Amino acid sequence: MAHIACIEDLRRLARRRVPKMFYDYTDAGSWTETTYRANTRDFGDLLFRQRVAVDIERRNLRSTMIGQDVAMPVALAPIGMCGMQHADGEILAARAAEAFGVPFCLSTMSICSIEDVATHTSRPFWFQLYVMRDRAFVERLIDRAGKSKCSALVVTLDLPMLGQRHKDLRNGLSAPPKPGLANLLDLARKPKWGLAMLRTRRRTFGNVVGHVTGVENMASLEAWTSSQFDPRVTWEDIAWIRRLWQGKLVLKGIMDIEDARRAVDVGADAIVVSNHGGRQLDGAPSSISTLPAIAKAVGGSVETWLDGGVRSGQDVLKAIALGARGVMIGRAYLYGLGALGEEGVRLCLEIIAKELSLTMGFCGVVDINAVTEEILTRRRGANGSNYSPNER
């Protein structure tokens, strides 16, 4: 579409088309949203070295992530309630990712079930796991992911309890939305969204309903969900999951060098430097500022990826330059999904790929796998601190 030039255009369109409670669920952080804003802001503190008179005609974006060939080193991150941004959202996003050639990761708290997504795709996808109090349910989820031929298990570690998300609390977030005057008025202004949701049977948490005894309606689902996030999870639980899961294991939510080393010790194939998009611990540093030290600490013993604040192909390139092997995008593709469904996710990926390729060329590099911190210069912050390690 001619009027869609960047991810921000998709965001603006999504804001007009998605009901407020679900748009805010996507486009918000916890508490004061300081960390949420830092995730994007700190990319702006990194500057590129512009190079000239280099043959940049043929540029390669293809790479691998945990042994999987990818069209570019980008994966669609797991997002809860993706199917509330657009009817059948997880299926649409998975199909767009498959067609483009990048991985899609399905959330435990998805609207479309593991089996549903597997039925509507032809290639393996990844599954994200929350470690719930009900360990028997966790075992069944892992078994279902295996039977659906998921090629990687992504365990999220930074949600043992929910961060305080003010917008979600004020909006009375639920799936499907609860009846009420404010919600009904908002839904009346989003007729395309409403009609699409009426045409689908997928309106609640597909991986839970029908798979947990006693969870048969919204009341029982809410009670079960609120009691299931487990603050007792330790590295022993991750070791237990490693024994259960024979495929690739990714640990998401790593923001500390010591935790990164523990992830290596427990047998992870990749770690994701992530603060949950600024939706958990407000006041934590941005993902991109934490990435270099963690990537250096673990070296080549495990793949290091980045999640948080990525809104462009330039952000992807900066993350790769600072040591990431791959990048996960969340809000960027959700804006596309909310704006235009499957086509919007495709547009998001095309925009990021184009921006990535162009920026590589302007920096004088032609292979994404050969990018190093040498493509960055440094910008001195207001307090005199140096963000980037290179001095030019």
Q: Is CATH 3.40.50.1260 the classification given to domain 7-377?
A: no
115-to-78, 207, 208, 313, 355 alpha-carbon distances in Å: 16, 9, 12, 32, 34
CB 75 within 8 A of CB 45: no
Active site residue 86: no
pLDDT at 172: 82
pLDDT at 175: 65
pLDDT at 168: 84
pLDDT at 205: 92
pTM of the model: 0.94
Q: What is the DSSP string of 152-183?
A: EEEEE-S-SS----HHHHHHT--SSPPP-HHH
Helix axes 235-244, 135-147, angle to 10 degrees: 40
CB 160 within 8 A of CB 263: no
**Neighbour tally for 372: CB within 10 Å:** 12
pLDDT at 219: 67
Which member of 3, 86, 211, 276 is catalytic? 276
pLDDT at 383: 41
The 3-state DSSP class for residue 296 equals helix
Block mean pLDDT (10 aa), the chain, length 392: 87 96 92 96 96 97 98 97 96 98 97 98 97 95 98 96 87 75 86 94 92 77 83 97 97 98 98 97 97 96 98 98 98 98 98 98 98 86 44 39
**Which regions of 236-347 does DSSP assign to beta strands (E)?**
248-254, 270-273, 303-307, 326-329
CA 24, 211, 274, 153 torsion: positive or negative?
Answer: negative
pLDDT at 218: 65
| Nearest C-alpha neighbor of 369 from the set 72, 67, 63 | 63
pLDDT at 391: 41
| Nearest C-alpha neighbor of 311 from the set 294, 290, 292, 286 | 286
Per-domain boundaries in the chain: 7-377
